[in-house]
Structure 1
Amino acid sequence: MDVLDKIVDEITLVISKVRREELYDVVSIIKKDSKIFVDGQGRSGLIAKGFAMRLMHLGYEVYVVGETITPSIQKGNIYFSISGSGESECVILNTKKAKEKGCIIVSITSKPHSTIGILSDKTIIVPGDTKNDVGEARNSVQLLSSLFDQSLHIVLDALCLILSKENNISNKEATERHW
């Protein structure tokens, strides 16, 4: 078994199961004047930061929850709750706070019936294995939540590509916002 081929095959299978209408449903709520907050823990949190950076390159006002310059969240803001298991404690607490403030909650998870899945207004299911999947539930040869995280990155990049096309944002324009 070639590990690179196996990883690519696993990611391809997960991506094939992502419902495209969920992507477009989320795109429909993101406006140029939206204030967007992204949240995740661990590796999913690192991918969330990459997503926030790409949204900034597209001209959106975006913040990463927990950073020192992140303002308070307000009613009507969009909050991305990202967790493979949907049960990351800090993300759950922040999702509940955003919900109480009247934010639009978008969860991205592999578990639609998880806590963040239930709290969300919009959900994108990325059905990659997470660290809690064991035995019959585990389909990946990769460790922990690698398959979810890799697939998450691709899905979030696809979301940004759709947004860039809908807003006619060229690579040149995005590059001008790049550090």
Structure 2
Amino acid sequence: MVNYKEAAGVITNEITSTLNNVDSQEIEQLIEQINQAEKVFFVGVGRVLLSLKSIAKRLAHLGVQTYVVGQITEPAMTEKDLLIVGSGSGETAFPLIIAKKAKELNATVAHIGTNPNSSMSQYADAFVRLPISSNPETDEEVQSYQPMKSLFEQSLLLLGDTIALMIVKKENIELHSLWEYHANLE
């Protein structure tokens, strides 16, 4: 495949298959946790972190107090807060350390990943599975032909936008009113 349209079709088909096979009950639970939290923190590494930063920004547009772990203005976490961990494998060292610390602080931890049986499961109160596998065992699992973990990062970003849209619809938020939360120093 060297044709742009073919390559784009592969990518969009993979993303569509992945998002169509996410468990909606897992998403409802995550939205409930976001709504109940005083502050929502995000942790991940690499391109996953970039997707999480986009999700944090979008939720901030909805009035949610969001913070990315490590940002200079990050406040203290408390038992009233939620940590959202993005880690496909659930084995990435830094997110595991932060999830452990969040649990020590009695915060809620939600993991978005591909492996429900990962090391992260010992800290996660909730799990949202993006059904991506390099070796699919079921029809719901999507095998990616993209380099590295691109499908996970892409699906994570769009999952965040899907969650934001669900919150907007559920709470009947007037889209024009969201501009009050948008950056205005640009």
Q: TM-score, normalised by structure 2?
A: 0.87
Partner of 1:87, secondary structure, is: coil
C-alpha displacement at 1:167, in angstroms? 2.3
User: How much identity, in percent, do the aligned residues show?
Assistant: 32
How many residues of Structure 1 are paired with residues of Structure 2 in the alignment?
174
C-alpha displacement at 1:53, in angstroms? 0.3
Give yes or no for the alignment of 1:154 onto 2:147. Answer: no
In the other structure, the counterpart of 2:40 is 36
**What is the alpha-carbon distance in structure 2 between the residues aligned to residue 32 and residue 14 of structure 1?**
27
Partner of 1:53, secondary structure, is: helix
Structure 1: segments with no counterpart, 5+ residues: none
What code does the residue aligned with 2:50 have?
L
In the other structure, the counterpart of 1:127 is 131
Partner of 1:31, secondary structure, is: helix
What code does the residue aligned with 1:65 have?
V
In the other structure, the counterpart of 1:52 is 56
1:51-80 CA-partner distances (Å, limit 9, x unpaired): 110111000111110111101211121110
C-alpha displacement at 1:32, in angstroms? 6.7
C-alpha displacement at 1:33, in angstroms? 6.1
**What is the alpha-carbon distance in structure 1 between the residues aligned to residue 123 and residue 116 of structure 2?**
10
In the other structure, the counterpart of 1:115 is 119
Give yes or no for the alignment of 1:3 onto 2:7. Answer: yes
Give yes or no for the alignment of 1:62 onto 2:66. Answer: yes
**What is the alpha-carbon distance in structure 1 between the residues aligned to residue 12 and residue 151 of structure 2?**
10
1:1-43 CA-partner distances (Å, limit 9, x unpaired): 4100111111111112100111111112222762111111110
C-alpha displacement at 1:153, in angstroms? 1.0
Give yes or no for the alignment of 1:86 onto 2:95. Answer: no
Partner of 1:148, secondary structure, is: helix
